[in-house]
Amino acid sequence: MTLTALDVDRFEAARPRLAAIAYRMLGSAGEAEDAVQEAFLRWQGADVERIEVPEAWLTKVLTNLCLNQLTSARARRETYVGEWLPEPLLGGDPMLGPADTAEQRESVSYAVLTLMERLTPNERAVYVLREAFDYPHKEIAEILDISAASSQQTYHRAKRHVAEGRARTEIDEAAARRIVEEFLAAATGGSVGPLLELLTDDAVAQGDGGGKVPAKATPYAGAKAVAKFLWGLFRPAVGKRKILGGSPEVFAWTANGAPAAIAVLDGRVVGVMCLEVGADGIIAFRSQVNPDKLARATALWAALDHGEPLVEQAF
C-alpha cells in the first residue's frame, strides 16, 4: 500500500511512544528501534483507511513484535557471555519516554528493567502498558488477546515480582550528582572504609561486558565484597588502559533516571555505572561496559552539556 503524507505523519506522531514502549519491553534501544521500524512496515502494508484507531492498532502490532522478540531473546541470552544487563539510556534521551509520575519514572529505571528479566513476556507487556502508559485493562486485554480479568491478575503478579526486588526511592538531578560525587570520592580514596559507609549491608555489584570487555560472570554480594571490588576497579592499571585504549574521564550524570558515573575516552562512552540508591545507602552497582550497548550513549553524549569530569584519569 502507498501511504499518504498524512498516514506517515500519523505514524511519526506515534513513534516516540512506540519506541518508549519497545525499550521498556526489550531493555535494548537497538532492538526497540528495529521493532518500531518493523511496525512502520506493517503500517505501510496495511489498509490504513480501514483502521479506526491507529494508536491502538500500532500498539497492538508493536507489542506483539516485542513479545516475539522477547521469546527469541531469551534463547540468545542463555548463551550470552557473562551476565546480561539492559542497554542504559542517558538522561536526555527521548526514548526514556514519559516521566510525569513516579510509576512512569520507575518503569524505566535500570533497576526495574533488570528485575523485569524475571517476568514472562506477557507479564512484562502488561506491566509496561499499565504501569508506564496507564492503559486500561480492557485495552491491554484487546492488545494481548486475553480477558480483562486475566490482564489484572497478570499485572498484580508482575508488580509483586518487581516490588519484591527493590525499594522505591525518588532522587532529583541535584541529589543524583551529589551521590555520584560521594561515590567517586570514596571509590578513588585510599581505603575501602568510605565505600563501606555508602553501601547497604546486602549491596550487590553486577557487570555486563558481553565477552568483549572483562566483567565477572556472577554478581558480587555483600558490602565487603562489593567495596573491595569497587576500590580495585578504580585503581589505575596498565592492563585496564590497554583494554580500553587509554585512561577515561568519569562524569556525574543520570542513566534511566538514576545516579550514574559515565566513563568517557576520547568522546566515546566506555562505561555507564548505574547506582541504585535506597534509604540506607547504595543498594546496587550495575556497570554496562559492552561496547555494543554503548553506541547510542556515545552519540547522545556528544550533544550534551555534561560539564567537567569528576575524575580525569580513572582506571
C-alpha cell at 65: 513484535
Inter-residue contact 189 to 268 (CB < 8 Å):
no
pLDDT in tens, 16-42: 999 999 999 999 999 999 999 999 999
Co-location of 129 and 10 in the same domain: yes
Residue 165: how many other CB atoms lie within 10 Å:
13
Co-location of 52 and 188 in the same domain: no
Q: What percent of the chain has pLDDT over 70?
A: 98
Domain end (from 113, 134, 164): 164
Higher pLDDT, residue 80 or 16: 16
Total domains, the chain: 2
Phi-psi label, residue 92: left if phi above 0, alpha if psi -120 to 50, beta otherwise = left
pLDDT in tens, 84-126: 999 999 999 999 999 888 889 989 999 999 999 999 999 999 9
Q: How far is CA 180 from the centre of its chain?
A: 18
Q: What is the CATH number of the domain that holds 116?
A: 1.20.140.160
Q: What is the CATH number of the domain that holds 237?
A: 3.10.450.50
Q: What pLDDT is stored for residue 165 in this prediction? A: 66
Q: What is the domain extent for residue 104?
A: 5-164
* Structural domain includes residue 120: yes
* Structural domain includes residue 313: no
Q: What pLDDT is stored for residue 27 in this prediction? A: 96
pLDDT for 239 beyond 70: yes
Q: Are strands 281-288 and 268-278 parallel, antiparallel or unpaired?
A: antiparallel
Domain end (from 101, 131, 164): 164
